[in-house]
Chains A and B, each alone.
Chain A
Amino acid sequence: MRMRSTFRPEVAGRTRAFALFAASGLLPLSAQQPLRALLPEACLAVVEVPAPVALYDDLLAAFTPVPAGLPDEVRATLSVYLLALPWLLGEAPRRLVDTLARGGAAIGVAPGDGKPRVFLILRPGDAAAAARWFGGHARSVSWQAHGEYVLVATREADSRSLAACVENATAGRFAKWPSHFCEDAAVRVFVDLEGLRSAFGRGQHLGENLDGGGRFLFGALAAALARARHATLALCTQDGLRFCAEIDHSTADTPFGALAQHGTRVRTMPSPPPGTLLAMSVDRSLHALFTGLDRFLTPEQKLGAQAFLSIADQVDGRSSFVDDLIGGLAEPIHGYVIEPPPAIPGDAQPRLLLPGFAFVAAIQGKDVETVLRRTAQVFTLIVNAERGQRNQRPFHIHSCAEGEWHGLSGELSEWRGPGAPPIEQALSPTLLFGQGHVCLASTREAALAVLGEVAAGRTQTLTGDRIELYGPALARTLARSREVLELARMLDEGESRSESHRFWSVLQVLAAEIACLRLALVPGDDRTALELSLRRQP
């Protein structure tokens, strides 16, 4: 029996209203079922777009207007592609989406012999026009008009099996997906992780193959992925673009879960100060790692960590790196990358200006300040000895006090050599204490900027891990070192000067357009969510 439907939603809002209607039982069975329900059982991953036209509009709104600052040749190339698109597609893109899939689209992917098998179900806005379009453009796939649907598959046999699924109208296993994650998203992807692992015979030991650093940072997520049965991915288009994912296993419930001290609890971090280009707080504990080497690392990795600790303990010589120093800090340590301060007229600056790096943590041990001061002084001695061997000037370290902050700061004497100063001339390594916090930074300005937020009590709340990139500050930082960055691509990639110039121009313009790009990993009691969101400058 071929299904019929009156389903003709035009926008995402209508889709949601339709879902409510369907749930109330007022619509026929075929219309109540989402398109994904009609895909073959063999599919291991399914993509569903309930309202493709609305998705098209939202994506267009997110990516347009094209940033004005793009180089002319890039704008011209984009214009040519955009002009050529209707010609290549045979119709204006939005109209084509409406013609082919006004009522929704679902794609299923199943494993095949060497190549994946792809199934596509469309509910066209104009079935006759859709058939004409497929007749003219879809020569490399097998398709058929099937009642209110157009069915497409990569192989003839798959097309027939897809038609059989639709005719049987029995809800497939994707109809009742065990997650309500992002139900109103413009695009949802359902992945049968268990099926993938058994189909490809791998993935069961994700996390265990990582090196020491990889285990520390990604071990819990990888292990959760290896144990999860389902993953749900979604693209949400309201209020910027958000890519979200969820798996039905918690990172806490893995061998590496104990590396996170806060787990599902909400915590705070100092807000990123003005000029921040990157802020990150990753819920991992170095103290947990170093006191549980057997638990988290392989025997070889453990030896490497022990070698590091034997050196780290000797830097100060009178304290334990793990117990007195790391143990005296309230982990996690928050990291910030801050754009370099404005140039002072007449002051020679390095051609390659690094941003400032700052790490801040609350202090919970009484000896931390003493240990850190001694460690910093010894470390400076080592660095200066190495610099002396290279005939480079030493860093002069001195005690400093800035308002409520006190500590150590270092700098090089004025550059008198030939040409622009070296990179390190812009560094002023700083260690500041105050208000129960410690900040270690590559420049004094970066330390004071972050501690300014601490002093003002400005904080952000978060759970799990978060990394945020702020585009305008990144663009300004790139602009300060443009010529050096351009040469880097010429030398490392073999690009011509104009190509390298164009690359950085595009990157700089795109970065300036990104108000915030956020990557967050949020652990739950029985699941883990990942979110990547992009907000454009207003």
Chain B
Amino acid sequence: MTDLLQPFVPTAADPFDLRKAGHLLRRAGWSGSLRQRRELVSAGVAAAVESVMPAAAVPPGPELLQEAIAFGDIEHVRSHRVHACLQSNHPLRERMSSLWHDHFATSNKKLLDPRSMALQQAMFDRLGLDTFDALLLAVSRDPAMLRWLDNDTNRKGHPNENFARELFELFALGRGCYSERDVVEAARAFTGWHVIDGQFHFLAAYHDAGDKELFGQRAAFGGEQVVSMTAARPESARWIAERLLRFFVHPQPSAEEVEALARCYTQQQRHLGRTVQTLLASRLFFSARVYRSKVKSPAEFVLGLVRLLGARAAPAELARAMGAMGESWLEPPTVEGWPRDMAWLNPATWLLRANFAADLLEGRRGKLRPAADDLVAAAGKPSERVAAAVDLLLDGDVTAASRARLLAFAARRAAAGPGGGAALLHATACTPEFQLL
């Protein structure tokens, strides 16, 4: 294992403190309460990383999934996803599912099939931390994906290259790592992979069983072989490593970081769970370069704020708020998923974030227990109240400039009379630091 991925060992100068516990919960989950973060600090870094990992190797089916499907509309399926993220005690599973939903972006805007979308999400929950080979094969047979990329019209003599092209370009290899001929031949291998009654069916009559030449090898490859050959390529290891690094670590990972994680991923037999666990426990993950290096997506902002405050809000309402900010789950804008990092922030979306925080803190978007004033010790001095707000929302870590502004705000508010906890927390949630992951 390279130096970068060596386990992080806390020292007196660089302890595993509230900042790092908050960092772990933001990146590997959807944030957590102050109490939860303090418990992680007490437990230590190894136990903290262990705690975000799913408890069972093979998870049960998502709770109430069939009930969510029963409504027959995408809003309830989307709310069900939000509910799962809010309720999860081991949030990495749902976090990985959000990564794979972005990576294998499939939209109900085209499918108009909430059931298939819900079952695809359940598949991500089930296999998101398994081997990439298993995940990629499941995606290749996923009814929503097959219809999304038109593979249900891919038949012998009339190959549709859409799925095969995205498999290489977006899902497993990246541009420049395959030839046009590879796409054509892979498309032939996926002929007959169709959807009937919402389920995958292999239609032998539509399948091109002839020889194909793929990555310089020639044989009567079927879709399964194409998937396993693709996942085993070194370019795929680098592609997946970079994707994991962009998601968990830094928007622009260095070549050295990509190589290091690709090696780890290969050594772990492309097991995503073990690779991610190594990454989350690493020096790299807890390094200064990585800390608050990403911009929160709407989901990370909305769900994170709800969990940090311990608020109770209707998942349907939260899903609508995320959608208004540009992240409507199950309806990614393109096959490449959502825009990332700085693309999330503009004057309009920033205002929506501020308004969402105000609504939540003033009880218009859910219940806040304990109340905002209790959360920031309303009776205390302005400096104590700012410290409480910064601990609660920012792990006690804020720039001097932001702290000064919050102190001035708290002093003005204190002069106006008692209360004002919600206003102070709102100001804290509007700091530049809070927009960062």
Across the interface, A491 reaches (CB within 8 A) one of B79, B112, B115, B367, namely B79
Q: Is B70 an interface residue (CB 8 A)?
A: yes
Residues of A contacting B315 with CB < 8 Å?
Answer: 490-491, 494
Q: Is B410 an interface residue (CB 8 A)?
A: no
- Give the shortest distance, in Å, between B372 (CB) and chain A (any CB): 17
Across the interface, A494 reaches (CB within 8 A) one of B80, B113, B115, B317, namely B317
Across the interface, A423 reaches (CB within 8 A) one of B70, B112, B367, namely B70
Q: Is the CB of B199 within 8 A of A417?
A: yes
Q: Is the CB of A417 within 8 A of B115?
A: yes
Q: Is the CB of A493 within 8 A of B314?
A: yes
Which B residues from 334 to 383 make CB contacts under 8 A with A?
Answer: 366-367
Q: Is the CB of A483 within 8 A of B67?
A: yes
Known contacts A389-B112, A419-B66, A494-B366, A488 near B71 by CB under 8 Å = yes
A420–B71 CA distance with the chains assembled, in angstroms: 11
Binary flags per residue of B88-128, CB closer than 8 Å to A gives 1, else 0: 00000000000000000000000111010001000000000
Which of B67, B79, B314, B315 is most buried by chain A, counting CB atoms within 10 A of its CB? Answer: B67
Binary flags per residue of A492-511, CB closer than 8 Å to B gives 1, else 0: 11100000000000000000
- Give the shortest distance, in Å, between B149 (CB) and chain A (any CB): 14
Binary flags per residue of B182-223, CB closer than 8 Å to A gives 1, else 0: 000000000000010111000000000000000000000000
Which B residue sits closest to A352, measured CB to CB?
Answer: B70
Which of A350, A418, A422 is most buried by chain B, counting CB atoms within 10 A of its CB? Answer: A418
- Give the shortest distance, in Å, between B152 (CB) and chain A (any CB): 9
Q: Is A351 an interface residue (CB 8 A)?
A: yes
Which of A391, A488, A491 is most buried by chain B, counting CB atoms within 10 A of its CB? Answer: A491
Which of B64, B111, B199, B317 is most buried by chain A, counting CB atoms within 10 A of its CB? Answer: B64
Q: Is the CB of B314 within 8 A of A420?
A: no
Interface size on B, residues (CB 8 A): 30
Q: Is B69 an interface residue (CB 8 A)?
A: yes
Q: Is B68 an interface residue (CB 8 A)?
A: yes
Known contacts A352-B70, A420-B66, A491 near B119 by CB under 8 Å = no
A389–B76 CA distance with the chains assembled, in angstroms: 21
Which A residue sits closest to B70, measured CB to CB?
Answer: A351
Q: Is A139 an interface residue (CB 8 A)?
A: no
Q: Is B72 an interface residue (CB 8 A)?
A: yes
Which B residue sits closest to A491, measured CB to CB?
Answer: B79
Binary flags per residue of A389-423, CB closer than 8 Å to B gives 1, else 0: 11100000000000000000000000111111011
A481–B66 CA distance with the chains assembled, in angstroms: 12
A350–B367 CA distance with the chains assembled, in angstroms: 33
Q: Is A532 an interface residue (CB 8 A)?
A: no
Q: Is the CB of A487 within 8 A of B80?
A: yes
Residues of A contacting B313 with CB < 8 Å?
Answer: 494
Q: Is A484 an interface residue (CB 8 A)?
A: yes
Known contacts A352-B71, A418-B115, A491 near B83 by CB under 8 Å = yes
Residues of A contacting B112 with CB < 8 Å?
Answer: 389-391
Q: Is the CB of B197 within 8 A of A491?
A: no
Q: Is the CB of A423 within 8 A of B67?
A: no
Q: Is the CB of A488 within 8 A of B366?
A: no
Binary flags per residue of B167-192, CB closer than 8 Å to A gives 1, else 0: 00000000000000000000000000
Q: Is the CB of A488 within 8 A of B76?
A: yes
Q: Is B19 an interface residue (CB 8 A)?
A: no
Q: Is the CB of B113 within 8 A of A391?
A: yes
A161–B285 CA distance with the chains assembled, in angstroms: 78
Residues of B contacting A488 with CB < 8 Å?
Answer: 71, 76
Residues of A contacting B314 with CB < 8 Å?
Answer: 491-494
A424–B68 CA distance with the chains assembled, in angstroms: 15
Which A residue sits closest to B315, measured CB to CB?
Answer: A491
A415–B69 CA distance with the chains assembled, in angstroms: 15
- Give the shortest distance, in Å, between B310 (CB) and chain A (any CB): 13
Q: Is the CB of B80 within 8 A of A422?
A: no
Known contacts A352-B70, A494-B315, A494-B367, A416 near B197 by CB under 8 Å = yes
Known contacts A351-B70, A417-B197, A483 near B115 by CB under 8 Å = no
- Give the shortest distance, in Å, between A416 (CB) and chain B (any CB): 4
Q: Is the CB of A418 within 8 A of B199?
A: yes
Across the interface, A492 reaches (CB within 8 A) one of B64, B72, B316, namely B316
Q: Is B38 an interface residue (CB 8 A)?
A: no
Residues of A contacting B113 with CB < 8 Å?
Answer: 390-391
Residues of A contacting B64 with CB < 8 Å?
Answer: 483, 487, 490
Which B residues from 217 to 235 make CB contacts under 8 A with A?
Answer: none
Residues of A contacting B76 with CB < 8 Å?
Answer: 487-488, 491
A351–B70 CA distance with the chains assembled, in angstroms: 6
A391–B72 CA distance with the chains assembled, in angstroms: 13
Which A residues from 510 to 533 make CB contacts under 8 A with B?
Answer: none
25 CB contacts below 8 A, A to B, read A350-B70, A352-B71, A390-B112, A390-B113, A391-B111, A391-B112, A391-B147, A415-B197, A419-B69, A420-B70, A422-B70, A422-B115, A424-B72, A483-B67, A484-B71, A487-B76, A490-B64, A491-B80, A491-B83, A491-B314, A491-B316, A492-B314, A492-B316, A494-B313, A494-B314
Given contacts A352-B71, A415-B197, A487-B76, 11 further A-B contacts (CB under 8 A): A351-B66, A351-B69, A352-B70, A391-B147, A416-B197, A417-B197, A419-B69, A491-B80, A493-B314, A494-B366, A494-B367
Top 5 A-B pairs, shortest CB-CB distance: A351-B70, A494-B314, A417-B198, A491-B79, A390-B112
